[in-house]
Amino acid sequence: MSFKEDFFERLDGFSSSPFLFIGSGFSFKYINTETWEGLLRKYSGMMNIPFEKYRSLASGNWPKVGTLIANDYHGYWFDADAIKTEREKNLHEMVDFSSPLKVSISEYLKEVSKKEIDLRHKTDIELLKAAKINGIITTNYDLLCESIYPDFKVYKSQQELIFSSLQEIGEIYKIHGCCSEPNSLIITAEDYHEFEEKNAYLAAKLLTVFLEHPTIFMGYSISDTNVRGILASIIRCLDQGQVNELSSRLFFIEYVHDHKGEPLIDKYEFEIGGSILPLTRIRTKEYLEILQVLASLNQKFPASLLRKIKEHIYELVSTNDPSGKIAVVDFNTDTDLDKVDVVIGVGVSGKSTEKSYETFSRFDVAEDVVFDNKGFDAQELIDKSLPKLVKANGWMPVCKYYKQIENKSKIDAKIVAAATKDVTLWKDANPYSYKAKTIQETYNSIAEIIEQNTPDKAIKIMLLIEPAKLNLEELEKFLRENWNLTTDQNNKSYYMKLVCLYDRLKNQ
């Protein structure tokens, strides 16, 4: 299985779209901004004071370095002729000793954020714009995320997040502040102390994001203290079962300078405060294939539109007297609402709520193949559902429906390819492939395989024995009894492949 197929299957198994957790490496890549340390170096250099002086005085404590530089920069900012215009423009922002440094950093980042992105990154940015995500959490101060997702609602500080009603869709959470509000920036030891005092409230606010959405960390070092701090606060709110659920939803992209070929995906044990949190690690030098997967995910409507719908429903159910909220709403979007096939109802509408063929997932199709319970119209499924599903997934059961179509000349070529795929390909990417010969000699029936193996091992072994040994009634019974494997991140791809084999053998 290729990286893109593997990553897609992992994300597609969740009921909600991902959140991105974005760090300084992301902005460095696309608009060449400095890291947090780089910004501090920039402004110590502006005062002609070696950065190492501050680092040594602070004994390597980075927030303390921020405090020391902010103290000295305060006098420089009020006296230097070189920044007279900036000073006159921002005097109203002066609220404490760190305001001058925060204003200068903010003015700089606002200008950098306006620059055209290098053409070599054009494909990445277009894929990011097309990515099916529900939101972003970021420690970056710049405006890159807002420029890529202009329709997302932005929360510009920890304080704003804590006191707002989040919808968890079509939103950007800037937990360390935003350059559009200079005094929101988290830079000094005092800022970090205040941030950490309220971290429990922030963690509680973000808890459902982490438990209900896959979260992909981009632009961070795997040892980043910001990430560790947030995850530690989240974990303290959870029991062990929830921690295990959380670990299956975390994906950490690790930058590897000399990496070649497609990204590598594996398990990684993340140490946090003496505890181990397993997560999925993706090692790569480029984001291209990761972004291609995010752009190919299934999301029927734009996140920004769904956020507005959800927000208005929230207002309806959380207000004692919502009559003033119920109205025809201008969603300020190009979406043609007449074409939206979602019915939102309170009470009984008396109208059909059947899903549209365009909205069926690969698991809907697989369920019908295994249980024969959906009553699908084969032509509708072939025309409206399967083309996009086959395009997005390496393994899709299609034979049941392909067989029913008399005129096959107009069927999408990818569906034809899936329906006629060489049976030998079922053995690919199987962890037991190295002992396929032994398996074929050892087992003569599904009953023997089930008797000697757990279901998660059995599905892999069944894919390796000769198809002639597979009794279809026994195979159907096994698939029905183990449908829960479709929610198992480590085994659902093998289960789906076995469904495809069952579909082929039954409907060839």
Predicted confidence pLDDT, tens digits, the chain (508 residues): 789 989 998 898 887 889 999 999 999 999 999 988 899 999 999 999 999 999 999 998 989 999 999 999 999 999 999 999 999 999 999 999 999 999 999 999 999 998 888 888 999 999 999 999 999 999 999 999 999 999 999 999 988 888 887 877 889 999 999 999 999 999 999 999 999 888 888 888 888 888 889 999 999 988 888 888 888 888 887 777 778 778 889 999 999 988 888 999 998 888 886 778 889 999 999 999 999 999 988 765 666 666 666 665 555 554 555 544 444 444 444 444 444 444 444 444 444 345 678 778 888 999 999 999 988 999 999 998 898 888 877 789 999 999 999 998 889 988 998 998 887 777 766 777 778 888 888 999 999 999 999 998 999 999 988 888 889 999 999 999 999 888 877 788 889 999 999 999 999 8
User: How many folded domains does the chain comprise?
Assistant: 4
Same domain for 272 and 129? yes
Sheet arrangement for strand 171-174 = 153-155, 171-174, 135-138, 19-22, 215-218, 250-255, 275-284, 264-272
Q: Which H helix or E strand runs over 174?
A: strand 171-174
In this structure, are 153 and 237 located in the same domain?
yes
**Which tokens sit at 468?**
């002639």
Give the domain extent around 129.
Answer: 3-33+118-296
- Same domain (yes/no): 308, 395: no
CATH of the domain at 185: 3.40.50
In this structure, the answer to whether residues 137 and 265 fall within a common structural domain is yes
Verify that 198 and 318 share a domain, yes or no. no
Residues 216 and 341 reside in one and the same domain = no
What gap in Å lies between CA 406 and CA 358, rounded to an integer?
A: 22
Q: Which residues of 86-105 are buried (b: 16+ CB within 10 A; e: fewer)?
A: bbeebeeebeeebbbbbbbb
Same domain, 142 and 278: yes
Same domain as 391, residue 310 = no
Residues 412 and 340 in one domain: no
Residues 126 and 106 occupy one common structural domain: no
Residue ending a domain, choose from 86, 114, 142: 114
